[in-house]
Amino acid sequence: MGSFSDYAAAFGSNPGFLNWASFAPLSASVLSEVAADAEMLSTGRPAAFTLSRERIQEARGLVAELLGAPARLDDVTLQPSTTHGLMHAFYGLRGTVLASPAEFPSVSHTLDRAAKASAGGLTPRWIEPAHTFVTPEAVAEALDDEVTALAVSHVDFRTGYRTDLAALRDVLGPDRLLIVDAAQSFGVVDADYLVADVVAGHGYKWLRAGRGTGFAWFSARARERIEPVLSGFGGVEGGELVLDEIAPPAASAQAYTVNFPDSLAVARLATALRDVRDAGVPAIEEAIRATWTRSSRSPHGTACPC
Ligand SMILES: Cc1ncc(COP(=O)(O)O)c(C=O)c1O
């Protein structure tokens, strides 16, 4: 697969499918590459394990590439889901975090649970903006010196409302963290994600990679402020297995990982990311915009049954 036309030509097995904002059918290339990787893993040959490791780096590098320069592979972690990425952010945060209770529960429930586990160190400040749209104005109204972060969906799962990340960054200023749930936008919305500090997402919607394909990117500011409290033995320097001693969490974003990722999920994610990178997010976004303008329907706005 290379160009947008190759990408578009690979669709079509189920042209009436409209539930992309919930769960997308796996792409043909994901299906065939994961079968090849599974076949390889079934051999037990050392090359199979080398391939698995290479896939991890490939997937992390491609997430960084799609986020845009200067995002680096080292700042990207692979996660079982978006929610796992957000857990690493919220459980390690201190201060007051703004969020809407109308967010997908990956934000609202995770923030609530992290606050309850924080012994008073973390407090959610729930905001209830009109129509549930987390606008820069609604955020500005709720700000004071206690606020250390805002957590928000880039695209709202229910309404399809798209936040203006750059405007939110302006309102927050340089010192507060902007934590973005990009589950509804990554791979389909061309935006400046790097104005945020944490971007968490997954591959089972617009990337067509299936579940188990989460990821999270952490800026330098995020890494300074967020303790890797949920760091596991996979979160050590180099991601190597350390035995007979207790290694500290890595100095890089790798610290925000628990264990080694599922090899076949990583293969699905890497393949899907490559297809989207090659087709180009602006071209994909434009094609969807043209389709929904013709049909007067938003591609978002379907309540997620997951
Ligand atoms: C905005 C948003 N965030 C998070 C999720 C859940 O993501 P995950 O299953 O990767 O945790 C969804 C699922 O629809 C969603 O719409």
123 three-state secondary structure: strand
CA of 148 to the centre of ligand 1 (A): 23
Nearest-atom index, ligand 1, CA of 201: 10
φ/ψ of residue 177, rounded to 5: -85, 140
User: For 123-177, what is each residue's pLDDT tens digit?
Assistant: 999 999 999 999 999 999 999 999 999 999 999 999 999 999 999 999 999 999 9
φ/ψ of residue 131, rounded to 5: 60, 15
**Most informative mutation of 84, 109, 157 for ligand 1 (most atoms within 8 A of CB):** 157
CA of 14 to the centre of ligand 1 (A): 23
Would you say domain 28-275 falls under CATH 3.40.50.300? Answer: no
Q: What is the pLDDT at residue 13?
A: 65
φ/ψ of residue 202, rounded to 5: -150, 175
Buried b (16+ CB within 10 A) or exposed e, 152-168: bbbbbbbebbbbebeeb
Determine how many CB atoms are found less than 10 A away from the CB of residue 111: 29
Q: What is the pLDDT at residue 296?
A: 60
CA of 80 to the centre of ligand 1 (A): 12
Give the distance between the most distant pair of CA atoms in the chain: 62
CA of 22 to the centre of ligand 1 (A): 8
Return the minimum-mean-pLDDT range out of 53-57, 168-172, 208-212, 294-298: 294-298
For residues 88 and 226, is the Cβ–Cβ distance under 8 A?
yes
User: For 223-281, what is each residue's pLDDT tens digit?
Assistant: 999 999 999 999 999 888 999 999 999 999 999 999 999 999 999 999 999 999 999 99
Show the tokens assigned to 211: 């579940």
Nearest-atom index, ligand 1, CA of 204: 10
Nearest CA owner, ligand 1 atom 16: 157
Please name the helix (run of DSSP H) or strand (run of DSSP E) that holds residue 76, with its range, or none.
Answer: strand 76-79
- The pTM (predicted TM-score) of the whole model is 0.94
For residues 118 and 195, is the Cβ–Cβ distance under 8 A?
no
Determine how many CB atoms are found less than 10 A away from the CB of residue 282: 11
**Most informative mutation of 63, 81, 106, 109 for ligand 1 (most atoms within 8 A of CB):** 106
CA of 220 to the centre of ligand 1 (A): 25
CA of 104 to the centre of ligand 1 (A): 7
Find the residues whose C-beta lies inside 6 A of ligand 1.
Answer: 81-83, 104, 106, 153, 157, 181, 183-184, 202, 214, 304, 306
- Domain range summary for the chain, segments of one domain joined by +: 28-275
- 305 vs 19: which has the higher pLDDT: 19
Nearest CA owner, ligand 1 atom 7: 82
